[in-house]
């Protein structure tokens, strides 16, 4: 198919990462979880005690950070922060609830977008995030916007955490997800937005396999 970039955007809990990873495997492409990159930088800022309100400090931190995504067949994506495997450490509620500061800072987003574009130039890939179809890869061959009802997205997150043996405070999780939605939709730079040419998939009543299949069908139809 030649060099190919496929963008999968949508709100938290819509199933983007799982779908994008499976789609990448199916098509033999790389996989880029951009949320993991925002999370990794958040983790570094929290560990360092960097003031999260200090945009300049966050941008400086981004410039002195190396984030690598290692996508090995049959394994969960490995996220390396300055060489350290932080794949699990970036999934804690503390990190999740503080990504907002990193994500709203234009200078940090500029650095992230640059990294992501470089990865997209090096290899064909499926990327998932919030702004891939609108900002990072406006010329992506395929743009999908994966949505699902709020309650279903909450339930998926709850199930995901429980499956990992994590105790879940459901009310708090719902509140956090609503806050994250609000922050994602309203930030000035790189907000969550449907690209005009995105194919919208509502996964509320679909399984992961069905969503992957729907994406594959769209891709084959247009190729």
Chain residues binding ligand C5P by CB under 6 A are: 12, 34-35, 38-39, 99, 103, 129-131, 180, 184, 190
- CA–CA gap between residue 11 and residue 161 (Å, rounded): 18
1 or 184, CB closer to ligand C5P? 184
- Alpha helix positions (H), the chain: 16-27, 34-48, 55-63, 93-104, 106-122, 150-163, 170-186, 208-222
Adjacent-strand bridge partners of 192 = none
157's tokens: 């997150």
29 or 101, CB closer to ligand C5P? 101
- Alpha carbon distance, N-terminus to C-terminus of the chain: 8
120 or 129, CB closer to ligand C5P? 129
39 or 206, CB closer to ligand C5P? 39
* Minimum CB distance to ligand C5P, residue 205 (Å): 22
* Minimum CB distance to ligand C5P, residue 211 (Å): 16
* Minimum CB distance to ligand C5P, residue 206 (Å): 19
* Minimum CB distance to ligand C5P, residue 32 (Å): 10
- CA–CA gap between residue 141 and residue 113 (Å, rounded): 18
* Minimum CB distance to ligand C5P, residue 173 (Å): 13
- CA–CA gap between residue 43 and residue 95 (Å, rounded): 6
- Asked whether the beta carbons of 11 and 52 are under 8 A apart, the reply is no
8 or 220, CB closer to ligand C5P? 8
């Amino acid at each position: 198919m030649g060099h190919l970039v496929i963008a999968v955007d949508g709100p938290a809990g819509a199933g983007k990462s799982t779908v994008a990873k499976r789609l990448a495997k199916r098509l033999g492409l790389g996989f880029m979880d951009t949320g993991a990159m925002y999370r990794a930088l958040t983790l570094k800022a929290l560990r360092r005690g960097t003031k999260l309100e200090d945009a300049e400090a966050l941008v400086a931190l981004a410039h002195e950070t190396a984030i690598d995504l290692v996508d090995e067949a049959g394994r969960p994506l490995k996220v390396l922060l300055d060489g350290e495997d932080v794949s699990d450490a970036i999934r804690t509620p503390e990190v999740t609830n503080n990504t907002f500061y990193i994500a709203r800072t234009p200078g940090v987003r500029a650095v992230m977008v640059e990294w992501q574009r470089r990865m997209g130039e090096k290899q064909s890939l499926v990327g998932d995030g919030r702004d891939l179809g609108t900002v990072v890869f406006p010329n992506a061959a395929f743009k999908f916007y994966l949505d699902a009802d709020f309650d279903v997205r909450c339930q998926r997150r709850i199930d995901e955490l429980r499956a990992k043996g994590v105790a879940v405070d459901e009310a708090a999780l719902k509140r956090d997800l609503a806050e994250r939605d609000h922050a994602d939709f309203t930030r000035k730079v790189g907000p969550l937005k449907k690209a005009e040419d995105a194919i919208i998939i509502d996964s509320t009543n679909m399984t992961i396999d069905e969503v992957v299949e729907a994406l594959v069908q769209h891709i084959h139809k247009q190729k």
